[in-house]
Amino acid sequence: MIALVDYGLGNIHAFMNIYRSLNIPAVVADSAEKLESADHLILPGVGAFDWAMAKLNSSGMRSLLDEMVLVRKVPILGVCVGMQMMAQRSDEGVMPGLGWIKGEVKRFDEASFTQQTHLPHMGWNNVNPQRTGGLFADMLSSPMFYFLHSYYFSPADPAESLALTDYNGMFSSAVASGNVFGMQFHPEKSHRAGTQLLKNFAAL
Protein backbone atom coordinates (compact mmCIF):
# COMPACT_ATOMS: atom_id res chain seq x y z
CA MET A 1 0.00 0.00 0.00
CA ILE A 2 1.31 3.43 -0.99
CA ALA A 3 0.62 6.20 1.54
CA LEU A 4 0.45 9.78 0.28
CA VAL A 5 1.56 11.93 3.20
CA ASP A 6 -1.12 14.59 3.65
CA TYR A 7 0.22 17.32 5.94
CA GLY A 8 -1.73 20.08 4.23
CA LEU A 9 0.53 20.76 1.21
CA GLY A 10 0.82 19.12 -2.18
CA ASN A 11 -1.33 17.88 -5.01
CA ILE A 12 -2.49 14.69 -3.25
CA HIS A 13 -5.52 14.03 -5.45
CA ALA A 14 -3.48 14.07 -8.67
CA PHE A 15 -1.33 11.23 -7.30
CA MET A 16 -4.42 9.34 -6.18
CA ASN A 17 -6.00 9.64 -9.62
CA ILE A 18 -2.89 8.20 -11.28
CA TYR A 19 -2.69 5.25 -8.91
CA ARG A 20 -6.39 4.54 -9.36
CA SER A 21 -5.87 4.49 -13.13
CA LEU A 22 -3.02 2.00 -12.61
CA ASN A 23 -5.07 -0.14 -10.18
CA ILE A 24 -2.32 0.28 -7.59
CA PRO A 25 -3.56 0.54 -3.98
CA ALA A 26 -2.93 3.96 -2.44
CA VAL A 27 -4.29 5.85 0.54
CA VAL A 28 -4.22 9.46 1.72
CA ALA A 29 -2.53 9.46 5.14
CA ASP A 30 -3.24 12.47 7.34
CA SER A 31 -2.35 10.76 10.62
CA ALA A 32 0.31 8.44 12.02
CA GLU A 33 -2.27 5.65 12.29
CA LYS A 34 -2.89 5.75 8.52
CA LEU A 35 0.85 5.68 7.78
CA GLU A 36 1.64 2.67 9.91
CA SER A 37 0.84 -0.11 7.41
CA ALA A 38 2.29 1.54 4.28
CA ASP A 39 5.09 -0.18 2.37
CA HIS A 40 5.76 2.88 0.16
CA LEU A 41 5.50 6.60 0.96
CA ILE A 42 5.14 9.74 -1.16
CA LEU A 43 5.92 13.14 0.35
CA PRO A 44 4.59 15.94 -1.88
CA GLY A 45 5.14 19.63 -1.24
CA VAL A 46 4.55 23.11 -2.57
CA GLY A 47 5.34 26.61 -1.30
CA ALA A 48 8.11 27.84 0.97
CA PHE A 49 10.56 25.51 2.72
CA ASP A 50 10.01 26.72 6.31
CA TRP A 51 6.23 26.68 5.92
CA ALA A 52 6.33 23.11 4.63
CA MET A 53 8.65 21.95 7.43
CA ALA A 54 6.46 23.62 10.07
CA LYS A 55 3.35 21.95 8.65
CA LEU A 56 4.98 18.52 8.64
CA ASN A 57 6.46 18.93 12.12
CA SER A 58 3.03 19.82 13.53
CA SER A 59 1.17 17.07 11.64
CA GLY A 60 1.74 14.35 14.23
CA MET A 61 3.47 12.21 11.58
CA ARG A 62 7.07 13.45 11.72
CA SER A 63 8.48 10.97 14.27
CA LEU A 64 6.84 7.97 12.61
CA LEU A 65 8.09 9.09 9.21
CA ASP A 66 11.64 9.28 10.57
CA GLU A 67 11.30 5.76 11.97
CA MET A 68 9.79 4.31 8.79
CA VAL A 69 12.39 5.92 6.53
CA LEU A 70 15.53 5.63 8.65
CA VAL A 71 14.90 2.42 10.61
CA ARG A 72 12.41 0.33 8.64
CA LYS A 73 13.87 1.55 5.32
CA VAL A 74 10.47 2.04 3.69
CA PRO A 75 10.90 3.49 0.17
CA ILE A 76 9.87 7.15 0.05
CA LEU A 77 9.53 9.54 -2.88
CA GLY A 78 9.76 13.29 -2.22
CA VAL A 79 8.31 15.58 -4.87
CA CYS A 80 9.23 19.26 -5.43
CA VAL A 81 9.40 20.88 -1.96
CA GLY A 82 8.90 17.36 -0.58
CA MET A 83 12.26 16.54 -2.13
CA GLN A 84 13.88 19.72 -0.81
CA MET A 85 12.69 18.92 2.72
CA MET A 86 14.82 15.78 2.64
CA ALA A 87 17.97 17.93 2.69
CA GLN A 88 19.74 19.24 5.78
CA ARG A 89 18.95 22.90 5.10
CA SER A 90 17.70 25.35 2.49
CA ASP A 91 18.70 28.83 1.31
CA GLU A 92 14.97 29.58 1.35
CA GLY A 93 14.56 29.32 5.12
CA VAL A 94 16.13 28.89 8.53
CA MET A 95 14.52 25.67 9.78
CA PRO A 96 16.49 22.42 9.59
CA GLY A 97 15.34 19.93 7.00
CA LEU A 98 14.65 16.24 7.52
CA GLY A 99 18.29 15.37 6.82
CA TRP A 100 17.45 12.07 5.14
CA ILE A 101 19.97 12.82 2.37
CA LYS A 102 23.09 14.85 3.12
CA GLY A 103 23.07 18.08 1.15
CA GLU A 104 21.48 21.49 0.94
CA VAL A 105 18.93 23.33 -1.13
CA LYS A 106 20.31 26.28 -3.08
CA ARG A 107 18.71 29.08 -5.05
CA PHE A 108 19.61 29.38 -8.70
CA ASP A 109 22.06 32.26 -9.20
CA GLU A 110 19.99 34.30 -11.64
CA ALA A 111 22.79 36.88 -11.97
CA SER A 112 24.98 34.24 -13.61
CA PHE A 113 22.43 33.26 -16.25
CA THR A 114 23.82 33.76 -19.74
CA GLN A 115 20.72 32.72 -21.67
CA GLN A 116 17.29 34.33 -21.90
CA THR A 117 15.93 32.44 -18.93
CA HIS A 118 14.57 33.56 -15.60
CA LEU A 119 13.13 32.29 -12.33
CA PRO A 120 11.15 30.33 -11.57
CA HIS A 121 12.26 27.48 -13.79
CA MET A 122 8.79 26.68 -15.12
CA GLY A 123 7.60 24.31 -17.80
CA TRP A 124 8.87 21.19 -19.54
CA ASN A 125 12.53 20.16 -19.53
CA ASN A 126 14.60 17.07 -20.17
CA VAL A 127 15.66 14.84 -17.30
CA ASN A 128 18.86 12.84 -17.86
CA PRO A 129 19.04 9.74 -15.62
CA GLN A 130 22.49 8.87 -14.31
CA ARG A 131 21.53 5.22 -13.71
CA THR A 132 19.62 2.75 -15.83
CA GLY A 133 16.36 1.15 -14.78
CA GLY A 134 14.74 1.82 -11.43
CA LEU A 135 12.51 4.86 -11.38
CA PHE A 136 13.35 5.65 -15.01
CA ALA A 137 12.72 2.15 -16.41
CA ASP A 138 10.63 1.78 -19.57
CA MET A 139 10.82 5.38 -20.72
CA LEU A 140 12.86 7.47 -23.14
CA SER A 141 16.56 7.99 -22.43
CA SER A 142 15.99 11.69 -21.72
CA PRO A 143 12.30 12.04 -20.81
CA MET A 144 10.49 15.36 -20.42
CA PHE A 145 8.99 16.34 -17.07
CA TYR A 146 7.21 19.43 -15.76
CA PHE A 147 9.09 21.81 -13.42
CA LEU A 148 8.14 24.79 -11.27
CA HIS A 149 10.88 25.95 -8.85
CA SER A 150 13.59 28.49 -8.04
CA TYR A 151 15.63 26.26 -5.70
CA TYR A 152 17.38 22.94 -6.29
CA PHE A 153 18.81 20.11 -4.17
CA SER A 154 22.62 19.93 -4.13
CA PRO A 155 23.61 16.53 -2.65
CA ALA A 156 26.83 16.36 -0.64
CA ASP A 157 27.74 13.16 -2.49
CA PRO A 158 27.54 13.60 -6.29
CA ALA A 159 26.89 9.85 -6.57
CA GLU A 160 23.48 10.49 -4.97
CA SER A 161 22.42 12.60 -7.94
CA LEU A 162 19.99 10.29 -9.74
CA ALA A 163 19.27 12.60 -12.69
CA LEU A 164 20.51 15.90 -14.12
CA THR A 165 18.70 18.71 -15.92
CA ASP A 166 20.13 21.72 -17.75
CA TYR A 167 18.89 25.16 -16.71
CA ASN A 168 21.80 27.53 -17.38
CA GLY A 169 23.97 24.67 -16.19
CA MET A 170 23.30 21.20 -14.87
CA PHE A 171 21.54 20.66 -11.55
CA SER A 172 20.30 17.55 -9.75
CA SER A 173 16.68 17.12 -10.76
CA ALA A 174 16.47 13.79 -8.91
CA VAL A 175 18.41 12.38 -5.97
CA ALA A 176 18.56 8.96 -4.34
CA SER A 177 20.17 7.46 -1.25
CA GLY A 178 19.18 3.92 -0.34
CA ASN A 179 15.40 3.88 0.10
CA VAL A 180 15.08 7.69 -0.15
CA PHE A 181 14.25 9.23 -3.53
CA GLY A 182 13.53 12.84 -4.49
CA MET A 183 12.24 14.47 -7.67
CA GLN A 184 12.37 18.24 -8.26
CA PHE A 185 9.90 17.91 -11.13
CA HIS A 186 6.22 16.97 -10.84
CA PRO A 187 5.52 13.42 -12.06
CA GLU A 188 1.82 13.92 -11.29
CA LYS A 189 1.75 16.69 -13.94
CA SER A 190 4.03 15.00 -16.46
CA HIS A 191 1.62 12.80 -18.41
CA ARG A 192 2.98 9.48 -19.69
CA ALA A 193 6.52 9.79 -18.30
CA GLY A 194 5.21 10.83 -14.89
CA THR A 195 2.73 7.98 -14.78
CA GLN A 196 5.48 5.51 -15.68
CA LEU A 197 7.74 6.89 -12.95
CA LEU A 198 5.02 6.55 -10.31
CA LYS A 199 4.35 3.01 -11.53
CA ASN A 200 8.08 2.22 -11.27
CA PHE A 201 8.20 3.61 -7.74
CA ALA A 202 5.35 1.33 -6.66
CA ALA A 203 7.33 -1.64 -7.95
CA LEU A 204 10.50 -0.90 -5.96
pLDDT of residue 11: 84
Q: State pLDDT tens for residues 53-70.
A: 999 999 999 999 999 999
Q: State pLDDT tens for residues 94-103.
A: 999 999 999 9
Structurally, the chain folds into a number of domains equal to 1
pLDDT of residue 73: 98
CATH number at residue 190: 3.40.50.880
Q: What is each CA distance from 90 to 16, 57, 109, 176, 186, in whole angstroms?
A: 29, 16, 14, 18, 19
pLDDT of residue 78: 98
pLDDT of residue 132: 86
Residues of the domain holding 101: 2-203
- Positions in the chain short of pLDDT 50: none
Which residues are known catalytic residues? 80, 186, 188
**Is 45 in a helix, a strand, or coil?**
coil
